[in-house]
Amino acid sequence: MMKQIIFLVFFLSIYSCCVNAQVQLKESKYLFFVEPELMLGQTVSNYNDFPNTDVVQSLFLSVGIKDTRNLHSSQYYNHPTTGLSFSYSNLGNDSIFGRAYGVMPFIQFRPWGSRQKLWSLKFGIGGSYFTKSHKDSERNLAIGSNLAWSFQAFMYRELFALNRLNFRLGVGYLHSSNGHTKLPNMGLNSAQVSLSCQWNSSPLISRKKNVYLGTDAETHQRYFINVRTGLGIHEYGGKSKPVGGAKGNVYSVAVSGGILFKQHLKLRAGFTYRFYEHYYDQIEESANPDFIDSPSWNASNIYFHLGSEFLIGHFGLDIEGGLNLYKPYYKEYYKKHGGSSSEVKYKLKKYFSSRMGLNFYFINTNKMPKNNFFIGANINANFGQADFSEVNFGYTYTFL
C-alpha cells in the first residue's frame, strides 16, 4: 500500500511539473483536486469481548473542488472544498471484521480564518460495504449488516507545498454503524492518523487572495421557515439483541423557523412529530392497559428541536438536538432493551434526542432562492444511541 502511495505522488509530481512548464494557466473560479491518503490507526473497544485487532490500515482517494469565488460561503468558510472520498480499509482482524469499502461525500473548511490558514476541518457522511458482519462471526457485535453508515471527522495541518502538490498530515475519528436498521449495532470506531498529497488543477502560487465584504443584501440576517417529512426504518431491540427481528417504519413531520446568517449558517427551532410502527405493534400485541386505549397516540413522539445547518452550495451539513416532550412508550421499550439499570442513562435517552445528516438542495444556496426544496439522509439517536435511519424531503422558504 505504501508503494502505491509513493508511486502516485511521484507520478503527480512529474505530471505537474511538465504541464506547468508548457501551459499558461488562467485563474479559475474552482480548483479541481485529487488527493490520495494513507491512514493508520487502531479500533476502539466499545463492548465486552471485543476482538483483538492489529493496526487498521485505510487508503482514501478523494476528488473534489475548491470554491475560490468571492461569494457568500466561499469567503466565510475561507474557500471550502467539497467532494467524494473512496476508501478501502483493512480493519485489523480479517476473520471477524473483514474489509470495508466506502463512498463518502465530504465538506472541508478553515473555521479559524487566515491566521490559521494551514489548519482545516473535514467532515464526511456516507456509506460502507463490509465483507464480514455478525452472520459471519458471533463476536462481531459492531456491524450487524454488510451495508452501514460511515462518518469521518478529521483535522488537517498542511506541511508544505510543491508546485501543484500540497502535503498534509491529519488526525481524526472514523465511525461505522447501520443506524439500528439491523441488529446487533454496537458500531465500529477507530482513531487514525493520515498522510496525504493533494494535487491541484492549478499551481498553488497562482492563487489570488481576495478580500470580500459582501453587499448589504448578502450579509444581513434573513428569516426562514422549514417543513420536512421523513421515512425512517429500524429493527426493534437493543444495540446487541435480539437478532433477526422484523423491520419497522418511523414516520416524521417537522416544522421549524429560524435565522439565516450571511447565507451560510441556518439556526432553527421547531417541533417534530413521529409515529413508531414497532411501538404500535407492541402495544397491540401486549394489550398493556396503560397504553391500549390509545395505541396510535401512545406510539407517538413529540419533541422540541434546535438545529444548525452549514450551507455550502447545494449541500447542507445538518445537526440537530431535541427535548422529548411526549414519548410514553419509551419507558416500556427501555425496560426490555435498554441494556442498563442506570436511571441517569434512562433519563438522558428518554428526554434527549439527536439527529445528524446531509441535505442536498435542488437550487444552489449561493443564489439566495426564496423557495428551495431538498432531499436528505440522516441518522437519529436517543441521546447518543442510534434509534433509526431516515430519508427525508423538505421545503424551505426564505424571507428576502
The domain spanning residue 221 has which CATH number?
A: 2.40.160
In a domain, 18, yes or no: no
pLDDT at 154: 97
Average pLDDT, the chain: 86
Look up residue 47 and give its DSSP letter.
Answer: S
- Nine-digit cell string for 126: 456516507
Which pLDDT does position 114 carry in this prediction?
60
Model pLDDT for residues 33-82, shown as the tens digit of each residue? 999 999 999 999 999 899 999 999 999 999 998 866 655 555 666 677 88
Average pLDDT over residues 157-172: 93
Compare 236 and 115 and report the one with higher pLDDT: 236
Q: 124 pairs with which residues across the strands?
A: 106, 152
Band of pLDDT at residue 206, cut at 50, 70 and 90: very low
Does pTM surpass 0.85?
Answer: no
* Claim to verify: residue 123 and residue 257 sit in the same structural domain: no
Which of 162, 187, 206 marks a domain boundary? 206
67 vs 231, residue with greater confidence: 231
Boundary residue ending a domain (172, 206, 240)? 206
Helix (H/G/I), strand (E/B), else coil: 366? helix
For residues 201 and 263, which has the higher predicted lDDT (pLDDT)?
A: 201
* pLDDT band at residue 11 using 50, 70 and 90 as cut-offs: very low
Which amino acid appears at position 101 of this protein?
Answer: Y
User: Is 140 found in the same domain as 194?
Assistant: yes
Residues 6+ away with beta carbon under 8 Å from 169: 156, 157, 159, 193, 194, 195
**Residue 24: pLDDT over 50:** no
Indicate whether 22 belongs to any domain. no
| 192 and 221 inside one domain | no
Q: Which of 181, 206, 231 is a domain's end point?
A: 206
Instruction: Summarize pLDDT for 271-297 with one digit per residue, the tens.
Output: 999 999 999 999 999 999 999 999 999
pLDDT of residue 76: 63
Indicate if 199 and 322 belong to the same structural domain. Answer: no
Kindly list the distances between the CA atom of residue 176 and the CA atoms of 93, 152, 163, 223, 304, in Å, as whole numbers in the listed order.
Answer: 16, 9, 36, 36, 28
Range of the domain at 288: 217-399
pLDDT digits (tens, 9 = 90+) for 135-149: 999 999 999 999 999
Q: What angle do CA 6, 97, 380 make, to 5 degrees?
A: 100
The DSSP bridge partners found for residue 158 are 168
State what percent of residues in the chain have pLDDT above 90: 65
% of the chain with per-residue pLDDT over 70? 84
Three-state DSSP state, 86? strand
Higher pLDDT, 371 or 4: 371
pLDDT score of 348 more than 50: yes
Question: What are the residues facing 189 on neighbouring strands?
Answer: 44, 175
Residue 270 and residue 198 in one domain: no
Residue 212: inside a domain, yes or no?
Answer: no
Residue 29 pLDDT level (bands cut at 50, 70, 90): low
Same domain, 395 and 274: yes
Residue 140, C-beta contacts closer than 8 angstroms, at least 6 positions apart: 51, 96, 97, 132, 133, 134
DSSP letter at 5? Answer: H
Task: Please name the residue ranges forming H helices in the chain.
Answer: 2-22, 72-76, 216-219, 277-286, 295-298, 330-337, 343-351
- Has residue 10 got a pLDDT over 60? no
How far apart are the C-alpha atoms of 392 and 115, rounded to whole Å?
39
186 pLDDT higher than 50 = yes
Distance between CA atoms of residues 302 and 255, nearest Å: 12
Q: Which residue has the higher pLDDT, 220 or 107?
A: 107
State whether 228 and 162 are in the same domain.
Answer: no
Which of residues 280 and 118 earns the better pLDDT score?
280
pLDDT of residue 21: 39
